[in-house]
Amino acid sequence: MKKITIAIDGHSSCGKSTMAKDLAREIGYVYIDSGAMYRAVTLFALKEGMLTKDAFDTEALQKRMGDIRISFRLNAETGKPDTYLNDTCVENQIRTLEVSQHVSRVAAIGFVREAMVEQQRQMGEAKGVIMDGRDIGTVVFPNAEMKVFVTASAEVRAKRRYDELTAKGETCNLDDILQNVVERDRIDSTRAISPLRQAPDAIVLDNTNLTIAEQKQWLLDLYRRIAEAD
């Protein structure tokens, strides 16, 4: 079967990465989490003191963009790729609520997006990749053979994120997470550059009432239909 490019976009916390990772493992494709890249830039800005609750020194970040190297390495134990920032594994640090609360602001900046999109295109050059994010089917790979736009109710998405964080031992509050989910949707969909929107040729998957097994099968069936016809 010919190798294709698979773009999975959609709202935050609707299980895009889980489904993309599962499909990649099943069909032997490379999985790239583009949101992790924006999270890694956010972590860098927080650690360097450029970004606080009240202020964001974007000029300082722009000057240091060349010092940010993001890569993914397969974790032999989990079988999943971990995110590295300048050779340090930051997979857990980029998933905290603090990073989630700042990442939309960082992802709305033009020079950040330009740098990330360039890296994403390089990573996907060889095809056989599944990338998830907000602008993969619209901006990064507008010619992707398979495009999926995932959504689910905000309440269901907040509960899933809450379960994920508490399973990792983080103390969190469901209302704070729901607020964060709604706020990120708002910023992601209304920003001037590459806002979150459904590509006209994307197929919508509303997984509010689907189990992980059901959505896995849905995705696999779609992939087979597209890859076999291509």
- Chain positions contacting ligand DC, by CB under 6 A: 12, 34-35, 38-39, 103-104, 107, 133-136, 184, 188
Nearer to ligand DC, 8 or 27 (CB): 8
Q: In terms of CB distance, is 10 or 50 closer to ligand DC?
A: 10
Distance of CA 159 to the CA centre of its chain: 18
**Helices (H), ranges, the chain:** 16-27, 34-47, 58-64, 97-107, 110-123, 154-167, 174-190, 212-229
Pair of tokens at residue 162: 């809450």
Closest approach, Cβ 103 to ligand DC, in A, equals 4
Count of C-beta atoms within a 10 Å radius of residue 106: 24
Nearer Cβ to ligand DC, position 22 or 188? 188
Give residue for tokens 């000029």.
59
Read off the amino acid at residue 176.
Answer: D
d(CA 91, CA 59): 26
Shortest separation between residue 225's beta carbon and ligand DC, angstroms: 25
Residue 193 CB, shortest distance to ligand DC, in Å, is 9
The least distance separating ligand DC from the CB of residue 34, rounded to whole angstroms, comes to 4
Distance CA 31, CA 78 (A): 14
**Closer to ligand DC at the Cβ: 174 or 227?**
174
Q: Pick the closest to residue 15 from 116, 139, 160 (CA basis).
A: 160
Which residue, 34 or 151, is less far from ligand DC as judged by CB?
34
Residues linked to residue 150 through DSSP beta bridges, in sequence order: 10, 205
For the bound state, the minimum distance from the C-beta of residue 114 to ligand DC, rounded and expressed in Å, comes to: 12
Residue 1 beta carbon to ligand DC: minimum distance, rounded to whole angstroms: 26
Instruction: State the Cα–Cα distance between residues 64 and 162, nearest whole angstrom.
Output: 33
Nearer to ligand DC, 170 or 230 (CB): 170
